[in-house]
Amino acid sequence: MRFETTGIDGLIAVRLERHEDDRGSFARLFCREEFAAAGLKTEFVQQSLSVTPKAGTLRGMHFQHSPHGETKFVHCVRGAIYDVVADLRRNSPSYLHWQSFRLDADGEVSLYIPAGCAHGYQTLQDNCEVLYQMDMPYRPDFADGCRFDDAALGIKWPLPVTVVAKKDLEWPPLRTAAG
């Protein structure tokens, strides 16, 4: 694994090192020792899988407030997604900056997303599956979000949004949601 810093403080692109032969390929998605050596969290208490049948579907932008803010480790295991991380940490040098990545099942990139950042993605193909690991359990009373089209962020999505959850359309403007 190779750990690469990004434009958002604490957001790490984890590049897989694939080993290929006549059978196909093999790559480790997670190694506790390598994560610890890179100064990253190594204890994940929850693992989730999202399955999304239609291209253009948007999930996000989601986060949890302290003291239950989640560090996430995200990998696309089927299909392809446009993954976006937005920094909502007021004291961060990258506050209100966002960065996007193409994650796909054939790719080599996973994302280590620090607590305090909103996360969302748009499916680029039909039938996508995304694997998440979180260091904190989901707590609905601390869950929050901001709209995918919030003017404070100005995220540019690659496709027209075809499906989005009702709750994701009802988030208040970011200036009142983050903190």
Query: Among this protein's residues, is 62 annotated catalytic?
Result: yes
Q: Which of 68, 100, 74 is nearest to 87 (CA)?
A: 100
| Beta carbons within 10 angstroms of residue 111's beta carbon | 23
β-pair type (163-164, 57-64):
parallel
Residue 21 has, within 13 A of its CA and on its CB side, a CA count of 3
Q: Which of 82, 112, 132, 138 is catalytic?
A: 132
Q: Which sign does the torsion angle of CA 54, 49, 130, 91 carry?
A: positive
Active site (annotated) includes residue 19? no
Q: How far is it, in rounded angstroms, from Cα 98 to Cα 63?
A: 14
Which pair of tokens denotes residue 56? 């253009």
- State the catalytic residue, choosing from 19, 62, 68, 119: 62
| Tally of CA atoms within 13 A in the half-sphere of 2 that contains its CB | 8
User: Cα(138)–Cα(136) distance, rounded to whole angstroms?
Assistant: 6
Which residues are designated catalytic? 62, 132
